[in-house]
Homo-oligomer: A and B are copies of this chain.
Amino acid sequence: MTIDDNDALPPRDFWSLRNLMVSRKDTLPKRLAQVAIYAVANPDDVAFGTAASIAEKAEVQPSTLVRFAQAFGYQGFSDLQAVFQDRLRDRTSNYSERLSSLRSHVAGDSKSATLFSGFCKAAERSVGSLRERVQVEQIDEAAGLLARAETIYLIGQRRSFPVTSYMSYAFGKLGVKSVLVGSAQGNDPETLSFATPRDAAIAISFTPYASATLNYARQINEGGTPLVVITDSPFSPLIPKIGVWFEVVEADYEGFRSLSASMALAMTLTVAVAEARRS
């Protein structure tokens, strides 16, 4: 008996596997072909079901599923199932889906092409998830709160600094008084000590939360200054007592998170404040 029907290593991403199933279907024994057809047509069921439940729906024996997996070089059914699960997993940082959909678009898969497409997709998905999560009422509330403020303090460090610095620029152009905190100049605590309850602040931070941002936000919020927070979890330590918070989940690629969603939200808030000021 030969060791395996195919000598190559089994595919680790769903689309490669799918292609392989399609192309090998005609050379497969009857029941195995039946499994291939079912798996291609109902990938979600394969991802979630148990061997028994899938076997029943595909009208084969559970053992056939194991044989099927082994025919494709997997160790067993569970090993194959993992590939189907990865397809649905972690929409915000999924390797396999992205890499394979890349291959369809990009002929030569150079490293740069992969990177480029990866970051583009991360940006698009971030914005997509932003759309799902944010409610318009929150924006209205935040904009109203900021519009009433005398001065708007912008707190953000590290990855969030580009966002606050953009807001600072945009507020400047729109004639809204704002102060950027967290740049290289070191007198931030003093700057923030001028904040009163008649002012407002925007704080942006994602895990791992920059400790300075946390401290500033707490300090200012306990002083009674309302806070608009952009962060990545409802359990973020940044969630303010007085104010509004937005949950923004940025997709990441190779550990680098997109900024598109935060930017889009920041721009919305900025312009909404200016609009609200006009009336």
- Residues of A with Cβ closer than 8 Å to B? 22, 25, 36-37, 40-41, 44, 47-48, 85, 88-91, 95, 98-99, 102, 105-106, 108, 110-113, 115-117, 119-120, 122-124, 127-128, 130-132, 134-136, 139-140, 143, 158-159, 161-163, 165-166, 169-170, 183-185, 233-235, 253-254, 256, 258-260, 263-265, 267-268, 270-272, 275
Q: Which of B22, B102, B120 contacts A264 (CB 8 A)?
A: B120
Chain B residue numbers with a CB within 8 Å of A98 are 132
Known: A106-B136, A162-B166. 10 other contacts (CB 8 A): A110-B136, A111-B275, A115-B271, A116-B134, A161-B166, A162-B162, A162-B163, A256-B267, A258-B267, A259-B263
Contact partners of A256 in chain B: CB under 8 A: 170, 267, 270-271
User: Using Cβ atoms and an 8 Å threshold, which residues of chain B touch A253?
Assistant: 267
Complex partner residue of A112 from B112, B127, B132, B139, CB under 8 angstroms: B139
Q: Give the docked Cα–Cα distance between A110 and B272 (Å).
A: 11
A119 to chain B, nearest CB (A): 5
Interface of A is mostly: helix
Distance in angstroms between the alpha carbons of A117 and B128 in the assembled complex: 11
Docked complex Cα distance between A124 and B22 (Å): 27
Q: Which residues of B contact A185 (CB under 8 A)?
A: 184
Q: How many Å from the CB of A167 to the closest CB on chain B? A: 9
